[in-house]
Amino acid sequence: MATRAGRQGGQGVNEIPLPALFTQAKDVTLAVLHRRLDEEGFEGIRYSHGAVFRFIDAEGSRLTVLAERSGLSKQALGEVVTELERHGYVERTTDPDDHRAKIIRLTERGTEAQVAAARILGDIERRWAQHLGRDRITGMRRVLEEVVRFERG
Amino acid sequence: MATRAGRQGGQGVNEIPLPALFTQAKDVTLAVLHRRLDEEGFEGIRYSHGAVFRFIDAEGSRLTVLAERSGLSKQALGEVVTELERHGYVERTTDPDDHRAKIIRLTERGTEAQVAAARILGDIERRWAQHLGRDRITGMRRVLEEVVRFERG
DNA sequence: CGTAATTCGTCAGGCGACTTGACAATACCG
DNA sequence: CGGTATTGTCAAGTCGCCTGACGAATTACG
């Protein structure tokens, strides 16, 4: 409904701009992921929660560590953790060895959500592979990774 | 600094999740685009400004039309237009045929910015093609487009 | 025609997702 | 010990978007 082409630059730039293309790909993927998670009973999960699910250690991790790994400020990550805690996906415990720090740990439900998310993302990619070609999808992955590495120097 | 792998799900999900991958690709592309635009003297341009640059007609367009095409609310787009106006990239004129409506038009500087952005994005893609392979880049484009179409289908 | 319904753009307020600054509690080090 | 660094939280602000409400202008209709 909003797809337009042509008419842009001076010469014929008929392609959708790269940033928009990447954004659309992200958005559709995320929409499917969150819908499925919701259907499986994992409610209230949002994009930024991935900062915890992706980077947390099996034994639990400190807030500061998660903030570093995800690139978020510790304040922002603290907020994310509070929200996940409210939904029962993680719990905060004071580190017995360092009473300043708290250890963030996945609850059982949190681990289930983590596993489900990984499985769903795998399903999505497999479905794409079936419909569009296995090599093309794995190729896209590799090219994207290389592009990111290339531009970051 | 934040790249981690392994340890996620239960089985070995060693790949970076798709949404994160797409986001990173978008971010690096946008960083290069905005840096170059800035270097060429086109300052203050942000991601959302693309909603105007991408969808505006050569003769100018109504706010409502741009909002529809871009998928933003007309309020949000109005704000974007105000900002572009302040930077001298567009101008608002009351439609002589319909005094409720206003026509948004690119100024000369605005058109130059539009052309520059298209050129820079083309340069980026060409540079990727040189370093990573022409076919792989155009392949990535096509796969992304098909993926988006597939999931919206 | 006159009036009612619709459309255009803007103002106001709110929310989500971040940021920086400041700070108490705790730990580390010479 | 006393000074310094670290951990996590509170507070406040920004940014980019949203919905609701509205005046002004236009269109539809009885």
pLDDT in tens, B45-65: 999 999 999 999 999 999 999
* Residue carrying structure tokens 């289930």: A112
Residues with CB under 7 A from strand C: A 46-48, 51, 71-73, 75-76, 79-80, 97-100; B 62-65, 74-75, 78, 81, 92, 95, 98, 100-103
Q: List bases in chain C with any atom under 7 Å of a protein Cβ.
A: 7-13, 16-22, 24-28
Distance CA A87, CA B73 (A): 31
B22 touches strand D (CB under 7 A): no
Q: Would the pLDDT of B12 be above 70? A: no
- Condensed to tens digits (0 to 9), the pLDDT of residues B63-107 reads 999 999 999 999 999 999 999 999 999 999 999 999 999 999 999
CA dihedral B127, B133, B134, B140 (to 10 degrees): -100
Give φ, ψ of A36 to 5 degrees.
-65, -45
Task: Name the residue of chain A whose CA is nearest to B133's CA.
Answer: A143
Q: Mark B43-70 as b/e (b = at least 16 C-beta within 10 Å).
A: eebeeebbbbbbbbbeebbbbebbbbbb
The pLDDT of residue B18: 96
Q: Which residue has the higher pLDDT, B14 or A44?
A: A44
Please give chain A's pLDDT, 153 residues, in tens. 333 444 433 344 578 999 999 999 999 999 999 999 999 999 999 999 999 999 999 999 999 999 999 999 999 999 999 999 999 999 999 999 999 999 999 999 999 999 999 999 999 999 999 999 999 999 999 999 999 999 987
- Checking each nucleotide's C1' against the CA of A95, the nearest proves to be D7
Express as a percent the part of chain B with pLDDT over 90: 89
Q: What's the maximum distance between 2 C-alpha atoms anywhere in chain A?
A: 65
Distance CA B59, CA B77 (A): 18
| Domains of chain B, earliest start first | 18-152 (1.10.10.10)
List the structure tokens of B80.
Answer: 């974007």
Query: Mutation test of the interface with chain B: which of A106, A148, A152, choosing the one with the most B Cβ atoms within 10 A?
Result: A148
Coarse DSSP helix, strand, coil percentages of chain A, rounded to the nearest 5 percent: 65, 10, 30
Reduced 3-state DSSP string for A12-55: CCCCCCHHHHHHHHHHHHHHHHHHHHHHCCCCCCCHHHHHHHHH
